[in-house]
Amino acid sequence: MKITNIETTLLHNPNGTPIQDATIQSPAGNAGRGQLFVHIFTDEGIEGLGMTYPSPGIRDVINNALKSVLIGKDPLDIEKIWNDMYWKVRGYGRKGIAFCAISAIDIGLWDLKAKIVNLPLYKLLGSYTDSVPVYGSGGWTNFTEKELIKEMTDYVEAGIPRVKMKVGKDFGKSEREDIQRLEAVRNAVGDDVAIFIDANNGYYRKQAIYMAREFEQSQVGWFEEPLIPDDVKGLAEVARSSSIPIATGEHEYTKYGFRELIERAAADIVQPDIGRVGGVTEWMKVTHLAQAFNLPVAPHALQLVHLHVACATPNLKVVEYMNIALEGDEIWYTDFPKQKKGMWSPFPDKPGLGLELDHYSVSKYAI
């Protein structure tokens, strides 16, 4: 079998919920929701589907740099193809958009491989379980307190006993409001629901340590991205100073970036993003690295792909389940699995990721 062509599809729904967090400044500028898809065609008629974020430049890297690496190759040679892509972008792609491009293609290759052997991806990877816990994620800073509480309690009423909300409002300048909003959510959901908080890089080092002590009063399950991801030394200091586990990694790339995070004790919970870290190939290596240090994994976003790799991860903590992602998933795909009572399972009888793009949505939302 040979790869014959690589194509991309960029979809955008202009009616997605506007969002804002600590470091996303304007919800008006973040309305709508998009997804970039990669199609890998073969001479035997089997197609692989990959995906990542719709950030500027990713499509260009796929079409003008990586496509030539894949044409004519055996799609089962995933490690070799990954290595060839890595070196193709070595001068400009150790992090950022080039790695998102590699990630999308790698996801597509694994989807293709699972389809070739007629297995769901999680079974091909060597499943540890067929059902994983999820947490309801959102709680954006542009939500009013009433809207915030409604989203969090809606997740709980849907059977999800874990939720995540944003803090670090206004680049960390609204400390009292952060504390009050967290207290309001705790009072609304009760003591038996786990609450995770995400600062999206919005605090400074000492500020994060101080805020962590305040957040401890509300029984916080983890404190995510308290600082900018490049301040690894600072993250380690926050982790040492707080009883709340520090979760981070969504903006890290490759196993080498995670090696530094872990070696420097800057992450208590490791959060690789399969759409950035290097696809399935690199994501699994990161989780194995975390396991060697006895650390749990809680993947960030791109939830329908993470569902499969999470089922093959013994040191999994929980999978993110986001309302804003569901808005897009309901449009892009003909069908996809839904969580039930806080647990989530892939389709057991559909090969690969088990996902198929809706042709009507492609014609309506394609850019």
- Reduced to 3 states (helix: H, G, I; strand: E, B; else coil), residue 28 is helix
User: Cβ distance 35 to 47 under 8 Å?
Assistant: no
Q: Which two tokens stand for residue 38?
A: 């990669």
Q: Contacts for 90-97 with beta carbons within 8 Å, 24 or more apart?
A: 93/61, 94/253, 94/254, 95/253, 95/257, 96/253, 97/55, 97/56, 97/57, 97/58, 97/61
Quote the Cα angle for 77-54-358, to 5°.
Answer: 80
Cβ within 8 Å of residue 96, ≥6 positions away: 253
Exposure string of 97-111, with b = 16+ CB inside 10 Å and e = fewer, is: bbbbbbbbbbbbbbb
> How does DSSP classify residue 217?
G
Alpha-carbon distance of 300 to 289, in angstroms, equals 17
Catalytic center residues: 166, 300
Alpha-carbon distance of 150 to 143, in angstroms, equals 10
Cβ within 8 Å of residue 142, ≥6 positions away: 18, 19, 20, 27
